[in-house]
Amino acid sequence: MEKEFSVQNPLGIHSRPAGALMKKAKTFTCDITIAKGDKSVNAKSIVGLLSLEMRYGDKVTVKASGEQEEEAVNELGTMLESVLE
């Protein structure tokens, strides 16, 4: 399953929101990736998330496969589309 979301944090996804995304991703047993452009990273890796350099307004795709995939995509997407601090 996959869906596209728009980053809504005015400061982008810096270390604090990336940490929150990673912690949420680790609560799911499924494989989760986040892609921006042609680069895709494991959502359970803070280094990977930071390497995407997600900025305000960027379109990113959240993909998940396995148990709880729909819930994982929707919850991480909701976080990306909110103002994380």
- Which member of 8, 12, 14, 68 is catalytic? 14
Please give the Cα distance from 16 to 21 (Å, whole number). 9
Residue identified by tokens 């976080």 is 79
Q: Catalytic residue at 70?
A: no
* Pick from 16, 29, 38, 41: nearest CA to 65: 29
Task: Give the residue numbers marked as catalytic.
Answer: 14
